[in-house]
Structure 1
């Protein structure tokens, strides 16, 4: 409520102005003038007229743009979605690269395993072929020994020339622990006159010079007939 006297705003529930102390609900009364018939001036009867209340223009607060908070919220949401999308894309790409690397590693491991398996198969085939050839030669020697025992000993032909398949040691007896007396080079010829059996399935041949050389054991054939 606006005070009629000081024109200041007051709460609606009070009866006296909190600024000037005058009553708010009663209009200010004026004393009517005394009529004087000798005076020519007319009476001023403004007092009898109701006092017009001064209208106070209430300035309404301007409405703020209610769309601004919504736009800000939408902008923040879009930003979060963009950041989340970029992060998810980077994470997915990283996972994809790791999966590719893992598959490539597994592919290389499988390739290496196949290569080793092929090498082992080739080695096994070579060993089987070697054993078959060795068995054939042993059978032939046994057959020849049965036909002519005087010319063979333990399936080996005696009084004949042999060639070394490897660099061999010459010893003073037909045994691995015998004293070494010399060397027999690879592809070098040696004349064998006598053959005896030794340890580890070995067979030893005595040369014409009296030296002994291992001709064969469970692992290798050291000499071959010329």
Structure 2
């Protein structure tokens, strides 16, 4: 997989890919992540990539021409499955979306800034719009990093245990069940006996029951879906 991130602030995207699982995935050649500074595609000497909005109003708007030049340059080199725009009014990122994106080969992620991008970018270039929640960030970089993390960890060979991602919360519209590790008793707080029994079918049944009960209590909306 290859992910190209178009950004005004590429420095914000360095650290997430220089540590932990994402770094290992890149080093193993399972994914390529490239950042592209939008100012390098500006059309004047001032590296301008934003301007006042037509009709008046507060806030600047990212201009269409630098974005067009950047996307066109990338598309001249390869085909892309999706051009994703990170925006608060996009579709909320879900595990299902992450699962789907993990099956793609090449992705472009455009990070919004200011009041957002010229609408013509959304109309003619963007194929999918994603939000990480009903709130506004100062830019789309952190949101893009979240999407990358959610997608890359699903790629075969990234996680040490290939089945680990399949048991995450939301994979089956349920929250994960409670989990425990050593010691079996701490300050009088005991691990449920069933987990120490060695009876795998009964343990799985307990986990399914616990997952359902947790979901009913904490996120009943998931069951409506």
Per the normalisation by structure 1, the TM-score is 0.20
Structure with the larger RCO, 1 or 2 (CA within 8 Å, 6+ apart) = 2
Per the normalisation by structure 2, the TM-score is 0.20
